Amino acid sequence: MERTEAKPTRRKLIDSARKLFLERGYEGVSIRDVTEAAGANVASINYHFGGKENLYREVFRELLTARVSDILGRLDAVISEKSPPDLGKVFRTYLEGLLGEFLVSGEAQNFAKLVSNEMSENGLASEILVREAAVPIHRVLKGAILAARPDIADIKASLIIASIFGQMFHFVRARHVIEHTMARSYDEEFVRVIMDHIVEFSLKGMGERP
């Protein structure tokens, strides 16, 4: 009976924490905030997770792996369509899976802020970001690049991937500045223009025709 009751409580804590961490970030949320939202007692977080930090790590992992699984599935489908793979289509699929969502979904925009914090080696869940997102996505993209361009060195392929990610994340984090300097809102058309630009810029940097 005790184990049956523990599962719903744990789930409620994760769901409540997810909403609060996305809205306020890790530092802006207290244990009491989470337990009150979940209708649980203060001791429940220590009981189920061993503390607020481990609860945050679990929330971050769930948010991350759902997106990564979707992106890897899309990339695998596109890469298997053609041999060698169409890099323009591969890059576009990667951008649509991350950038497209980050720019149009309010929850995804808030999650992007958490990801930005975890990109530091001191992040609370930085090793989760590396192990469960950066490494597997990098592996798939690198395989596609080397299959399409066997003349490119391994390090060059990795740098291309890092460059694409850097461009993408700039448009996410600098959204407020870009909207004001370019006098453009991030509507569907502008998001498409941004993705077209990153794909074209990246392909030309490789000596490819967009």
Give CB contacts under 8 A, 24+ apart, made by 193-201: 194/99, 194/103, 195/92, 195/95, 195/96, 195/99, 195/100, 198/91, 198/95, 198/99, 198/164, 198/167, 198/168, 198/171, 199/88, 199/91, 199/92, 199/95, 201/167
Q: How far apart are CA 113 and CA 143, in angstroms?
A: 29
Q: What are 17's two structure tokens? A: 């924490």
pLDDT value, residue 120: 81
Q: Write phi, then psi, for 35 (nearest 5 degrees).
A: -65, -35
Query: Model confidence over 164-203: pLDDT tens digits?
Result: 999 998 998 898 999 999 999 888 899 899 999 999 999 9
pLDDT of residue 1: 33
pLDDT value for 188:
84
Block mean pLDDT (10 aa), the chain, length 210:
59 96 95 96 95 97 92 96 96 89 78 87 91 96 97 96 93 91 90 94 87
Alpha-carbon distances, residue 41 vs 1, 23, 48, 50, 83 (angstroms): 19, 22, 12, 14, 56
| Rounded CA separation 35/37 (Å) | 5
